[in-house]
Amino acid sequence: MFGVLTALVLAAVAAFVYVVDPEGTHERGDGGALHAYRDVFHRRGRAHLLASGPWDSALIGSSRVALGYDTDERGLFGGRTANVGLMDTNVWELVRVAEYALDVAHVPLLVVFVDLHCMSSRRRTNFDFERSEFDRVDDEGPLEHFDENEGELLSLHELERAFSTLEARSEGRPRVGRNGVDRRELPEGHRYREDTAEHLLRVYLANPGTYFGFEYGADRIEELERFVVRARTAQARVALVLPPKHALQMECMTQLELWDEFERLKRDLAGVATRQGVITLDFATHHDYALERMPQDDERGARMKYWFDSSHGTPALGALVLARVETALTGRAQAQSLFGARLALDGVEAHLEACRAARDKWRESNRHERAWISGVIHDQRLLRLVPPLAKQD
């Protein structure tokens, strides 16, 4: 009797999790009523999003894409644009996602956003990538996948996420837009500098896959160029974009002596642009939007227009980026600017010199901000966050 009761309880739990589908990985007959409240920012959810096309275009990149481009409100050229921003990603993964968008979803226009930290040779494939449709080299049979996927229905983690999905719906807190944008909002009384310092410490300074022990992976550019060639052969259009960074983020890179690697990435992308004739735009410069002042934490009610923190731009900034991408793709003339400057081998050195001049001008007039970043870099909390083995190096 006890065994029968236990089986019934487990079946009820599995059915509940399956119906709620907190990760959005099943085809549910709920008419999309729960979609906006699900957590679909993992690799399986993003593959499912692309497969739900048709799409006119797709934005592929890191969490900066997920947060910063509301493609419900503004799709490229007025079409349906998938937002395929991945958390904690790298160029190898982004190329696999772009291949999936090209070969499986048949997206005709792909915009790939390339961050410096995505070039790190120390960044590895995320654990959920191999269990997503993006990993099409699969040595496991259907039975193994059945065991994995069905086993999740009985996990406490998935049960908690199912309840969280229903709670978000009851409170009217959508997590995702129809086309994939992360709809999280800053809380009342948000402390920008506290949040930015914490983000820099945990994600960039203590993480061996970002700025900590950064090693430039030249093979990542080769992977990216191979994809561009494939896309051109398939008659798909591709644009490469260096996404915006706030001046404080670039100051962190400067003080960590990563600026040379930053320029190396831009030179490498300029080379791809010239050899393959692909539109390549640089927004990672000290343009006016990157210089927006970050409020002090005691300035109650202060809000930044273009930034969530020093790394992630808001959809207001994303809309400006997409407008510039459209201009470049249509071949219309654009005034010379550090915001979305077009990269090519002819002129890249002059562009890099202009970027350095803009950086140095900001640094000279913002010595207090340089000191603030230095304080974050030398924060004693970093000693507790750095992996134990790294502390011995």
Three-state helix/strand/coil letters over 16-63: HHHHHCCCCCCCCCCCCCCHHHCCCCCHHHHHHHHHCCCCCEEEEECH
Q: CATH homologous superfamily of domain 31-140+188-387?
A: SGNH hydrolase (3.40.50.1110)
Whether residue 330 contacts residue 346, with contact meaning beta carbons closer than 8 Å, is answered with no
Task: Report pTM.
Answer: 0.89
Tell me the per-residue pLDDT of 232-272, one tens digit each, with 9 for 90 and over: 999 999 999 999 999 999 999 999 999 999 999 999 999 99
* pLDDT tens figures, 55-114: 999 999 999 999 999 999 999 999 999 999 998 899 999 999 999 999 999 999 999 999
Domain boundaries, the chain: 31-140+188-387
Distance CA 42, CA 348 (A): 36
> Is residue 83 within 8 Å of residue 66, measured between CB atoms?
yes
Predicted confidence (pLDDT) per residue in 185-226, tens digit = 888 889 999 999 999 999 999 888 889 889 999 899 999 999
User: Closest by alpha carbon to 280, among 328, 215, 235, 313?
Assistant: 328
